[in-house]
Structure 1
């Protein structure tokens, strides 16, 4: 029988099936409530998540470590950023010719194993540890389609990690690039309480801090914005994975080809809404405007894991937002952001109605408190 090349899976999709754990798909998921399966290679439980906007640029995995146990050591040629959902534990990191380094983590911690270094995740508590990781495994596995090379290559990327004693300490270097604030750190103790810089470009009264981590191209940022307010719509490339840390609300998304007034122009049926709360995760598709709305009674805070390193730039990411920092620049000025005064009027009307249902006052510029 001839091989069905038209319907053949990608190498990453085939690898996920071989790993034998559940694969969950959708626009958005609650990462803490995903059904997990036994993952013999890892030595714990787990699942893969395929969000609509990952599009082969990033992947996501959830791993569970039983109380007092550890996952099997591993190393690989793809980047991985890990966020701790539940539990207390530690990680040991090493490579040939160097001693092991240890660091501890708890709920809200974020870190990245250096590329192709051995690492082991250990649960030091009496309850399960649950971790979510975003990777660029789809790109790497699809490119090389050779698991032996990806998981057993001995090359050491000493420009990224060379056994430094303080490598996993919280970084102190913060700086600005263009309209954004950035932080060099290989460890964040708790993303829910980490300091965020004031930043008005994407949300009135909001905050934004991007972080560079482990010499990766896959990095991230933290954002927050006040009660009764919402973000400006913007778009970028595929692969950004967003996790909600505080408050509850919703996000709307639509293809930028529909223009900046999707409801007014008769395309409201193509606007996708994802409701969220702490633990929710979603991923806007490439080139889709997306806009985040806080309906809760506390500041909303969000963690994004994505491409867009300022130190290790990727041409495909820059092109998707038209220019470096395009997500902070109005579409009228060649960027990919819609200013409040230019947005579809129905967007604010829907938000006002949602706030009224909850008894939360509106506090948007130009409207004032109600």
Structure 2
């Protein structure tokens, strides 16, 4: 995963002679064009702005750095995030931090890019487990680097939609729809979420209001657990979700459960 510096022309080369390369490009251009609808403004504009490569320190694609997060707007309760322009392999990235908030013993990495509003995070969780349902604002593009399973999406009080996924799947939960991720496979699953601009994050300012945007395991619709166990049964396996997690909202998962 890497960022292309603005106002630079570039070429992409496939170094493997026997395999096709697939690229996913993510940017905020659609938002910009909703404000200024003339393509020439963006594609034939002589203004170049600051040269982010020439003005930076060190190599533009140097190794990412870990940063301690003590920011005022740390709504994810993250301890650290990674800061850089190049991440060589998100299928194998192992510099993960425990993410108790979403349950199932999962681990996450949060990423920010220098001189850019772009950010993303990736979560890793064990086979035969699932995360807590949650919701937020629009525009999060979710990519699956590894794993097999499904997600359930629904607008509050309305029909639930099942979205199956595997490596290279992409989907986008609509604005303020609950969504919940299920690993029905035999190996750890990963989902990488590209974030919209901060104005669209959709988090409530008050902590007590944010609680309404996540459903704890004891409060979830019985259909959620039933569906998960049925999907595992089709594959000849059983759930690794602990029974106490369905009765105790403060249940502590094993720290090593979500590690790979």
| TM-score bucket of the superposed structures, by smaller chain | 0.7 to 0.9
The answer to whether 1:193 aligns with 2:92 is: yes
The answer to whether 1:279 aligns with 2:178 is: no
The answer to whether 1:150 aligns with 2:42 is: yes
Q: Larger strand proportion, structure 1 or 2?
A: 1
Computing the radius of gyration from Cα coordinates, the structure with the larger value is: 1
Q: Which runs of 5+ in 1 are unaligned?
A: 1-109, 259-266, 309-313
The answer to whether 1:210 aligns with 2:110 is: yes
Secondary structure of the corresponding residue to residue 353 of structure 1: helix
1:237 paired residue among 123, 126, 137? 137
Cα distance, 1:322–1:210 mapped onto 2, change above 3 Å = same
2:120 paired residue among 207, 214, 220? 220
Distance in 2 separating the partners of 1:359 and 1:210: 34
Q: Post-superposition shift, 1:307?
A: 2.1
Distance in 1 separating the partners of 2:67 and 2:16: 33
Question: 2:139·2:200 contact (CA, 8 Å) conserved in 1?
Answer: no
Cα distance, 1:143–1:233 mapped onto 2, change above 3 Å = same
Deviations for 1:40-94, whole angstroms, at most 9, x for unmatched residues? xxxxxxxxxxxxxxxxxxxxxxxxxxxxxxxxxxxxxxxxxxxxxxxxxxxxxxx
Q: Which residue of 1 aligns with 2:179?
A: 290
Q: Which residue of 1 aligns with 2:153?
A: 253
Distance in 2 separating the partners of 1:346 and 1:152: 53
Distance in 1 separating the partners of 2:122 and 2:10: 26
Distance in 1 separating the partners of 2:241 and 2:211: 25
The answer to whether 1:299 aligns with 2:198 is: no
Secondary structure of the corresponding residue to residue 208 of structure 1: strand
Cα distance, 1:157–1:330 mapped onto 2, change above 3 Å = farther
Q: Which residue of 1 aligns with 2:253?
A: none
Q: Which residue of 1 aligns with 2:234?
A: 357
Higher relative contact order (CA 8 A, sep 6+): 2
Distance in 2 separating the partners of 1:140 and 1:155: 16
Q: Post-superposition shift, 1:159?
A: 7.6
Question: 1:235·1:287 contact (CA, 8 Å) conserved in 2?
Answer: yes
The answer to whether 1:316 aligns with 2:200 is: yes
Deviations for 1:315-351, whole angstroms, at most 9, x for unmatched residues? 332xx2213xx9xx786x5451111122112211111
Secondary structure of the corresponding residue to residue 190 of structure 1: coil
Cα distance, 1:155–1:173 mapped onto 2, change above 3 Å = farther
Distance in 2 separating the partners of 1:171 and 1:186: 7
Deviations for 1:192-250, whole angstroms, at most 9, x for unmatched residues? 11122221111221011110024322321111111121011111111111111222111
Cα distance, 1:239–1:356 mapped onto 2, change above 3 Å = same
Secondary structure of the corresponding residue to residue 195 of structure 2: strand
Give the 4+ runs in structure 1 shifted more than 6 A.
none
The answer to whether 1:138 aligns with 2:40 is: no
CA root-mean-square deviation: 2.3
Distance in 2 separating the partners of 1:289 and 1:157: 40
Distance in 2 separating the partners of 1:159 and 1:173: 24
Q: Which runs of 5+ in 2 are unaligned?
A: 246-260
Q: Post-superposition shift, 1:356?
A: 1.8
Q: Which residue of 2 aligns with 1:117?
A: 8
Distance in 2 separating the partners of 1:249 and 1:201: 21
Q: Post-superposition shift, 1:277?
A: 0.8
Q: How high is the TM-score relative to the length of structure 2?
A: 0.82
